[in-house]
Structure 1
Amino acid sequence: MTGFVIFILDGILGIAYWAIIISAIMSWLIAFNVINTHNRVVYNIHYTLDRITGPILEPFRRLIPTLGGIDISPIFALLIISGMRRFLIPMAANGLYPILG
């Protein structure tokens, strides 16, 4: 049971990690007019990724100012998510094994 819970938590964090990366790359492509949000598919993908990553990035955006118009909050969010996946998930697994088996 514990292995399944850890698997789900790691999967959710992995999806959030890749959603932030794809959202950042897509925002650069939109800013440099490589892709256009007038295309309905591009707009829907961008909107969905923004809805997924917005709640994750918002606390970082409140704390970290933009540097010359560049939002560096995704970098810090990715560092936190990587740390959670590498350090906190194994610690949680060790704590959950005696409880859940």
Structure 2
Amino acid sequence: MYALFWLVDQAVSLYIWALIIAAVVSMLMQFGVLDRRNRFVWAVDDFLFKITEPALRPIRNILPTLGSVDLSPLVLILLLQAFRIFLTTTLWPLVA
């Protein structure tokens, strides 16, 4: 059972890093630092969009629009961190 909790914790951690990288790549593309026409940059952006957008879309529908500022990655990261804390403090002692 320990392996399962470890695997879930690591998957959530990797998804948090994917959210952070997607937000940074998006900002760099908006500021013109990264070129959208570059095939590698486009492939990385497309991959990050496909894995993060399904979780971010419902949050974007709930949050009010703040112009060009998107707070949905921050909200999702906070929710995922809360899930990790819940997992380690509440569920792990019941199994161990």
Q: What's the TM-score, normalizing by structure 1?
A: 0.88
Matched pairs, number: 95
Which residue is 2:87 aligned to?
A: 89
Deviation at 1:60, TM superposition (A): 0.6
- Partner Cα distance (2:33, 2:19) in 1: 19
Which residue is 1:28 aligned to?
A: 27
Which residue is 2:56 aligned to?
A: 57
Deviation at 1:42, TM superposition (A): 0.4
The alignment-based identity, stated in percent, is 31
- Partner Cα distance (1:26, 1:66) in 2: 21
Specify the SS of the correspondent of 1:67: coil
Structure 1 gap segments, 5+ residues each: none
Contact persistence 1:57–1:77 (CA under 8 A): yes
Which residue is 1:78 aligned to?
A: 77
Q: Which has the higher contact order (CA 8 A, sep 6+)?
A: 1
Which residue is 1:12 aligned to?
A: 11
Deviation at 1:72, TM superposition (A): 0.8
Q: What's the TM-score, normalizing by structure 2?
A: 0.92
RMSD, aligned α-carbons: 1.2
Deviation at 1:4, TM superposition (A): 0.5
Letter in 2 for 1:73: S
Specify the SS of the correspondent of 2:35: coil
- Partner Cα distance (2:68, 2:33) in 1: 19
Letter in 2 for 1:18: W
